[in-house]
Amino acid sequence: MMVSMLRFPKRSYVGWGSIGELFQVLRGWGQRNVLVVTDPTLVKIGLVEEFLSPVNHDFQITVYTDVEPEPSLECAERLVAFTRAGSFGCVVGLGGGSALDMAKLAAVIPQNKGNIADYLNLTGTMKLEKEGVPKILIPTTSGTGSEVTDIAVLSLKGTKDVITHDYLLADVAIVDPQLTLSVPKRVTAATGIDALTHAVEAFLSVNASEATDALALRAVELIGGSLKTAVENGKDAEARKAMSTGSYLAGLAFFNAGVAGVHALAYPLGSQFKLPHGESNAVLLPYVMKTISANCREKMNTICRILADGVKQVDDWNAEDYLRLFYYFVKDVGLPTTLKEYGIIESKLTDLTNDAIKQKRLLARSPKPLGENEIHQIYQMAYSGLQ
């Protein structure tokens, strides 16, 4: 039997009201000087005030909001410079994946030599030596799973890159669906498809294990059964709860089994055309699934039986059927299903291919090897859409 190694954050609180644990965790650490990394929208809509006010009196809280969606290297460098100038005892990340990824870097990089670029996966040359200060990660979207991974994603010219290290793992993750009630429709849809993609790619990954399969399949069930409702009625507490747990489980699954082709091809769309991360996954998911399906039919059928709830003939499906299932799942939550809809012109597909091929770490987990030709074909399908 293959040995699988599984990693999780040290502690998670998951469920409605779990934000109430924040105070006790901070008190237990005995650190008074707390840096909160969030984004300007969350301050503007009152979410930061609403959920941090119970801890405001007992701790010295500094709220840092210079976090852009899909943060750039420069955005991260500004945060690290700010953090180095202070003396924070711990970091709280409160927000979507963008704020959580920045919080991880704020907790770890300032204690180490060099700068962010020195630790990038594709081009960095240095290894993190110090663990940094403790961190609590609190997602306000149900999507990235960043609260349970050791990854921080940065937008660079042309593509995205990551910093990964055990030190970036949360000491505590607090996953409270209450914090997602205010997420707008389109962000709910995009982040929800991101979470679904994590679960699906982890399940189909060449590194999948029985444990990650269990996490991934439950995530597919929860997300498949609730995303449309969460998009249509953001205040539906049951749908938000299911999405929140689904996203958390999908995060655990993909952190341990990896994501693959969809993410590898999505990164250049995020960097070159500024598509939000979830949308760049959504617009590729149907076409990647069609392309890889011949190499993972049994597992693909398992996923499709869950997503195509009630459709009996899944065992006879072919690549075109898988394509349609994912295509309509994405379309039904109101997201674009072609690159054309984003104004991307056909002549750009070669540039996209050239950048996607560099994501060897991700492509290595695909059940079907994806070389230059396959990648270009997938972008071509995503450009044209369903014929």
In the block, tokens 């394509």 appear at: 323
Least spacing, CB of residue 281 vs ligand NAD, in Å: 9
In the block, tokens 């399908």 appear at: 381
* Comparison of 67 and 304: residue with beta carbon closer to ligand NAD: 67
Q: Does 183 bind ligand NAD (CB under 6 A)?
A: yes
Measured CA to CA, the distance from residue 82 to residue 300 in angstroms comes to 46
Q: Does 247 bind ligand NAD (CB under 6 A)?
A: no
Least spacing, CB of residue 87 vs ligand NAD, in Å: 26
- The secondary structure element, H or E, covering residue 164 is strand 160-164
Binding mask 54-73 for ligand NAD (x = CB under 6 A): ---------------xxx--
* Comparison of 96 and 132: residue with beta carbon closer to ligand NAD: 96
Q: Does 144 bind ligand NAD (CB under 6 A)?
A: yes
Among 18, 112, 146, 353, binds ligand NAD (CB under 6 A): 146
Stretch that binds ligand NAD, among 9-17, 39-47, 125-133, 210-218 (CB under 6 A): 39-47
Among 93, 95, 246, 258, binds ligand NAD (CB under 6 A): 95
CA proximity to 134, closest of 99, 94, 97, 103: 103
In the block, tokens 């747990």 appear at: 245
* Comparison of 25 and 259: residue with beta carbon closer to ligand NAD: 259
**Amino acid identity of 32?**
R
Region of residue 340 (phi > 0: left; psi between -120 and 50: alpha; otherwise: beta)? alpha
Binding residues among 282-301 for ligand NAD as defined by CB under 6 A: none
Least spacing, CB of residue 263 vs ligand NAD, in Å: 8
Among 33, 62, 72, 182, binds ligand NAD (CB under 6 A): 182
Terminus-to-terminus CA distance in the chain, angstroms?
44
Cα 339–chain centre separation: 21
Among 35, 94, 179, 219, binds ligand NAD (CB under 6 A): 179
Q: Does 41 bind ligand NAD (CB under 6 A)?
A: yes
Distances (CA, A) of 286 to 75, 194, 233, 289, 293: 32, 13, 25, 5, 11
Among 151, 296, 356, 378, binds ligand NAD (CB under 6 A): 151
Least spacing, CB of residue 6 vs ligand NAD, in Å: 16
User: Strand, coil or helix: what is 113?
Assistant: coil
Measured CA to CA, the distance from residue 241 to residue 252 in angstroms comes to 17
CB of 352 closer than 8 Å to CB of 283: no
* Comparison of 75 and 308: residue with beta carbon closer to ligand NAD: 75
* Comparison of 163 and 289: residue with beta carbon closer to ligand NAD: 163
User: Strand, coil or helix: what is 271?
Assistant: helix
Max Cα-Cα span within the chain: 62
The count of residues in the chain is 387
CA proximity to 173, closest of 14, 363, 338, 6: 14
* Comparison of 152 and 239: residue with beta carbon closer to ligand NAD: 152
Least spacing, CB of residue 313 vs ligand NAD, in Å: 34
Q: Does 132 bind ligand NAD (CB under 6 A)?
A: no
Among 278, 333, 375, 381, binds ligand NAD (CB under 6 A): 278
Angle at 321 between CA 320 and CA 325, to 5 degrees: 120
Per CB under 6 A, residues contacting ligand NAD are: 39, 41-42, 45, 47, 69-71, 95-99, 101, 140-141, 143-146, 149, 151-153, 179-180, 182-183, 187, 191, 194, 277-278
